[in-house]
Chain A
Amino acid sequence: MSPAVTGDDLAVGYPTTDDPIVECENVILPDGEITALVGPNGSGKSTLLKALSGQLEPWAGEVHLGDDDVYAMDKKPLARRLALLSQDGDLPGSLSVRELVQHGRHPYRGFLEPLSEPDHAAVDEALELTGTDDFADDGVGNLSGGQRQLARIAMTLAQEPDVLLLDEPTTFLDLRHQLGVLDAVRALNDERGVTVGIVLHDIAQAARYADNLIALRDGVPYDWGPPAEVVTEQLLADVFGVDATVRAGPEIVPHQPL
């Protein structure tokens, strides 16, 4: 399959850093698949995701969405094809879930344009697919963390993107809601064929949900490929600094930090 998002010869950093945080020759999110970016804290996985999403222009190198240069595209056309669930935390508490999801139609609307019939249809579908239609009229301030995260995913879904990038969507959620969020993402991928790039903390979860893993160490890809190939005892020791046994599956049994 042709890659949906590619990054070539990337060097990514922030205005406040002297050296790039991430340097990688080639990174690919294959079309219609789920690719998880994994690595320990500070390995640059969120930074790489931001660069791939068009939100952090790399110091060097190019990011392409299909054949188009992401940083040469206008922002609204980009947002119609590529959605990003960022780590932004606070939302106005009185905002209803439906209003939040309607903001997902922002890239389709002009300044004074009201919501059109297709806009409403996209919003309804996004609510339904994420199971947030049950509490669509509640204020986001009254939701649990997991429900709120699903509502935000529904917003990105209302953008009707080909590619969905998620920056640590499961952090701060309890286990049940972590699985709920990941199931929703999996469903999106299955039913809509949305290409997914997701930053995950937990390599065991990543191995279970993703088609591909990209393991980063100190801003450099250590290995990438299907979980069964990437997750090895060697990788867990080198990248995560953990002594662990890997069983078929792959299933990880950690023993101790190295």
Chain B
Amino acid sequence: MAERTETAVGRWEWFDATLVSFCLAAFGLTSVAALVQVRFGTYPLTFWEAWRSVFDPAVWTQPNVLATFFLGERAAGALGFSTEYDLTTATTIVWNIRLPRVFTAALVGLSLSISGTIFQAITRNELASPFILGVSSGAGFAVLVTLVLIPSFGFLLPLTAAVGGTVAFLLVYAIAWQGGTSPVRLVLAGVIVGTVLNSLQTALYFFATDLGTVQQAISWTTGSLTGADWAQFRIILPFVLLIVIPGTVLGARQLNVLLLGESTASALGMRVERMRFALSVIGIVAASAAVAVAGVVSFVGLVVPHVVRTVVGSDHKRLLVGCAFAGPALLVVADTGARLFLPVVTGSPTQLPVGVVTGIIGGPYFLYLMRRRQQLGEL
């Protein structure tokens, strides 16, 4: 019974060396990409200057400066923080423009990969994504409706995108429901709703009157972080802190039990339908929060859980922690590429939507998997 004492030692046994090194590697990658992202731009900095600005004591030692960035001027002021302060130009640029985009990218990556993990478990399909149950098509359709039919409400885009995604998900659930759901019926219902909404979305492009509207619509439907700043960060942060992370902590073992199969989970005393819906809601909140700030960034929620699973296994405690580090890594790296590739290579100021880069990274990854593994798709 040597294992007895070992397993009884503590509840953190699963947080082993493999997982720790994986998370450290992902964090290192995120940091390097973040530093590159912060260094380059129209106001040139050296790496040393970028480093110094990120860790500028004028920011870190003054709670009122941090509060103003993270909470916004109004909230910080309301809490009694002074929103008047002096920072160097470099620090101002790094903290006002470049870092918030990195932070936002990290949270989008985290949300999407956690959402993907949840939906892969719920549908028992490792090729599922956060968008499999209609979120992307619902959000895309809502964006098009807003931009084309009610352009004066353009400022509501984050809200309409998230609501569109959520409504589409509820519609998928309603279609799949037949005295209960099943993974296969959910996926099929997702395809049904997705197909119809995508057609409607394409139809709406015909009614777009100017190129600007079309470009804005495309950047929403492919996912972009261009122009993301503290406002976007403040939209997604509460969802991550209040719903995604607590939901993940509570749901990890439930996902493991669900993965044993529906009848087994039910025989172990789980209310499968209720749990599946609750977990889906967490996944949808995560996906919708990401959509609200970055649009529909594809492949992150598909690739990241997959990569993490091959390294740390299918235990959801490990998987979700791994995703919380690997998701930000992929998205921060991809967004650095999206922002800097064209300016550095061609000198043009155009930025790519980050969804284009994640797609370019994600496609070949699956080609590689297809060549290497016989069985693809089974959890």
Q: Would you call A142 an interface residue if the criterion is a C-beta within 8 Å of the partner chain's C-beta atoms?
A: no
Q: Would you call A174 an interface residue if the criterion is a C-beta within 8 Å of the partner chain's C-beta atoms?
A: no
A99 and B267 contact, CB distance less than 8 A: no
Q: Mark B107-137, 1 if CB is under 8 A from A, else 0.
A: 0000000000000000010000000000000
**CA of A115 to CA of B268 in the docked complex: distance in angstroms?**
15
B7 and A79 contact, CB distance less than 8 A: no
Q: Mark A6-38, 1 if CB is under 8 A from B, else 0.
A: 000000000100000000000000000000000
CB A13 to nearest CB in B, in angstroms, measures 12
B270 and A136 contact, CB distance less than 8 A: no
List, in ascending order, chain B residues with CB within 8 A of A208's CB: none
The residues in A between 81 and 99 inclusive whose CB is less than 8 angstroms from any CB of B are 83-95, 98-99
B379 and A90 contact, CB distance less than 8 A: yes
CB B281 to nearest CB in A, in angstroms, measures 16
CB A248 to nearest CB in B, in angstroms, measures 38
B261 and A98 contact, CB distance less than 8 A: no
Max chain B C-beta neighbours (<10 A), residue from A92, A100, A136, A152: A92
The residues in B between 1 and 15 inclusive whose CB is less than 8 angstroms from any CB of A are 1, 3-4, 7-8, 11
Q: Would you call B266 an interface residue if the criterion is a C-beta within 8 Å of the partner chain's C-beta atoms?
A: yes
Interface of B is mostly: loop
Q: Mark B236-269, 1 if CB is under 8 A from A, else 0.
A: 0000000000000110011011011111101111
A159 and B264 contact, CB distance less than 8 A: no
**CA of A112 to CA of B252 in the docked complex: distance in angstroms?**
10
Q: Would you call A249 an interface residue if the criterion is a C-beta within 8 Å of the partner chain's C-beta atoms?
A: no
**CA of A94 to CA of B308 in the docked complex: distance in angstroms?**
13
B314 and A95 contact, CB distance less than 8 A: yes
Q: Would you call A111 an interface residue if the criterion is a C-beta within 8 Å of the partner chain's C-beta atoms?
A: yes
A99 and B315 contact, CB distance less than 8 A: yes
List, in ascending order, chain B residues with CB within 8 A of A67's CB: none
B268 and A86 contact, CB distance less than 8 A: no
A88 and B314 contact, CB distance less than 8 A: no
**CA of A89 to CA of B264 in the docked complex: distance in angstroms?**
10
**CA of A76 to CA of B1 in the docked complex: distance in angstroms?**
29
Q: Would you call B348 an interface residue if the criterion is a C-beta within 8 Å of the partner chain's C-beta atoms?
A: no
**CA of A152 to CA of B262 in the docked complex: distance in angstroms?**
14
For A124, give its contact among B1, B180, B263, B268 (CB under 8 Å).
B1
A75 and B269 contact, CB distance less than 8 A: yes
Return the chain A residue nearest B314 by Cβ: A92
The residues in B between 343 and 379 inclusive whose CB is less than 8 angstroms from any CB of A are 378-379
Q: Would you call B227 an interface residue if the criterion is a C-beta within 8 Å of the partner chain's C-beta atoms?
A: no
List, in ascending order, chain A residues with CB within 8 A of B260's CB: 88, 91, 100, 103
- Contacts A84-B267, A88-B261, A111-B250 known; A94 to B313 CB distance under 8 Å? yes
A124 and B266 contact, CB distance less than 8 A: no
List, in ascending order, chain B residues with CB within 8 A of A78's CB: 269
A117 and B8 contact, CB distance less than 8 A: yes
Q: Would you call A177 an interface residue if the criterion is a C-beta within 8 Å of the partner chain's C-beta atoms?
A: no
Max chain B C-beta neighbours (<10 A), residue from A79, A104, A106, A156: A106
B11 and A79 contact, CB distance less than 8 A: no
CB A21 to nearest CB in B, in angstroms, measures 16
List, in ascending order, chain A residues with CB within 8 A of B1's CB: 124
A87 and B270 contact, CB distance less than 8 A: no
Q: Would you call A107 an interface residue if the criterion is a C-beta within 8 Å of the partner chain's C-beta atoms?
A: yes
CB A93 to nearest CB in B, in angstroms, measures 8
**CA of A95 to CA of B267 in the docked complex: distance in angstroms?**
19
List, in ascending order, chain B residues with CB within 8 A of A94's CB: 313-315
A98 and B3 contact, CB distance less than 8 A: yes
Q: Would you call A114 an interface residue if the criterion is a C-beta within 8 Å of the partner chain's C-beta atoms?
A: yes
- Contacts A53-B267, A106-B268, A112-B249 known; A120 to B259 CB distance under 8 Å? no
Q: Would you call B179 an interface residue if the criterion is a C-beta within 8 Å of the partner chain's C-beta atoms?
A: yes
Q: Would you call B178 an interface residue if the criterion is a C-beta within 8 Å of the partner chain's C-beta atoms?
A: yes
B313 and A136 contact, CB distance less than 8 A: no
Q: Would you call A171 an interface residue if the criterion is a C-beta within 8 Å of the partner chain's C-beta atoms?
A: no
B259 and A92 contact, CB distance less than 8 A: yes
List, in ascending order, chain A residues with CB within 8 A of B271's CB: 75
A120 and B249 contact, CB distance less than 8 A: no
List, in ascending order, chain A residues with CB within 8 A of B11's CB: 114-115
List, in ascending order, chain A residues with CB within 8 A of B179's CB: 15
A124 and B257 contact, CB distance less than 8 A: no
The residues in A between 141 and 159 inclusive whose CB is less than 8 angstroms from any CB of B are 152, 156, 159
List, in ascending order, chain B residues with CB within 8 A of A245's CB: none
**CA of A159 to CA of B266 in the docked complex: distance in angstroms?**
13
**CA of A98 to CA of B2 in the docked complex: distance in angstroms?**
13
B264 and A86 contact, CB distance less than 8 A: yes
Q: Would you call A202 an interface residue if the criterion is a C-beta within 8 Å of the partner chain's C-beta atoms?
A: no
- Contacts A76-B269, A112-B250 known; A120 to B8 CB distance under 8 Å? yes
List, in ascending order, chain B residues with CB within 8 A of A90's CB: 124, 261, 378-379
3 cross-chain pairs, A with B, having the tightest CB-CB distances, nearest first? A88-B261, A79-B269, A86-B263
Residue contacts A-B, CB under 8 angstroms, 13 given: A15-B178, A15-B179, A83-B267, A86-B261, A88-B264, A90-B124, A91-B260, A92-B313, A92-B379, A94-B315, A95-B315, A109-B253, A117-B8
Q: A88-B263, A91-B260, A106-B257 are in contact. List 8 more A-B contacts (CB 8 A).
A: A79-B267, A79-B268, A84-B263, A86-B264, A91-B261, A94-B313, A103-B268, A114-B11
